[in-house]
Amino acid sequence: MPGTFSDHPDFPAALKLAGELADVAREISLRHFRTPLDVESKDDGSPVTIADRGIETRMREMIRAAFPAHAIRGEEFAAEGSGEFAWVLDPIDGTKSFVTGFPLFGSLIALTHGGRPVLGVIEAPVLAERWVGCAGRTTIFNGRAVKARACHSVEQAVIYTTTPETFSEQELPRFQALAARAALRRYGGDCYLYGMLAGGHCDLVVEVQLKPHDFMAVVPVVQGAGGWISDWQGNPLTFASDGRVVAAGTEALWQQALGELRRV
């Protein structure tokens, strides 16, 4: 595929579909938010609800109707199809927040080409906020272009992670060493953190134990805002990544973060 994805003939239809998928996620999640819900535990101990499954079911139906040749990979159901294009879905990223009435959960929608994320949407239903990133284009937040903050030093940075509880005994000291250097440390937010970084409201996001449905959509959003995102070794995020993610608003800040996170 020459050029960027925005040059591809399917780009307009894919972009339109991504917005429609986000609309569906917003409608269904708000219908169930802060209502009595049966919460089940999956094999890995993470929670799941009727809203998670309902959103992904509807999304899959819409993708199959619009792009029957595209593969689909989602959090709640088995992968289907194969080919150069694959949609990667997380119907509710931050289900623990969702089931406890905390509004900073979101839905993640990505389109990958040859395993590389080329289109990503972060949808925050309760706040009616949406970030759309596409390879080769500037990230759009609620209809306007956004840019990451020009922070070039860890000592001036605002750093976020969802929770330090997810870090292993080997990972936690590396995160703590980085966070101790930062100007401000904050916790909580899941996918919303990457939208904040893209909008210039924080400078570093460090996470572990993420799966492709957790990070594929945020890659174009961060990069389209001028940010940098990779695994802890500085490698591009792929379906084979180990789940350790670092995002930064500038290359200089990203390099400094990697210097701490790579330490043994």
Helix and strand totals (H; E) in the chain: 8, 14
Question: 1-7, long-range: CB within 8 Å, 24+ apart, which pairs?
Answer: 1/113, 3/136, 4/118, 4/134, 4/135, 4/136, 4/137, 5/111, 5/113, 5/118, 5/119, 5/134, 5/135, 5/136, 6/134, 6/135, 6/136, 6/137, 7/136
User: What mean pLDDT is reported for the chain?
Assistant: 95
Please give the single-letter amino acid code of residue 202.
C
C-alpha 219/C-alpha 222 separation (Å) is 5
- pLDDT class of 263 with cuts at 50, 70, 90: confident
Alpha-carbon gap, residue 172 to 194, rounded angstroms: 21
pTM comes to 0.95
Residue type, 137: R
Residue 39 tokens, joined: 């919460």
Give the whole-number percent of the chain exceeding pLDDT 90. Answer: 91
Residue 202, pLDDT > 90, answer yes
Q: Which among 93, 96, 89, 90 is positioned nearest to 46, based on CA atoms?
A: 96
d(CA 129, CA 106) in angstroms, rounded, equals: 9
pLDDT at residue 37, as a whole number: 87
| Residues 92, 108, 21: CA angle, nearest 5 degrees | 95
Q: What is the predicted pLDDT for the residue at 42?
A: 82
pLDDT band at 3 (very low <50, low <70, confident <90, very high): low
Query: What does the pLDDT read at residue 1?
Result: 36
Helix (H, G, I), strand (E, B) or coil at 251: helix
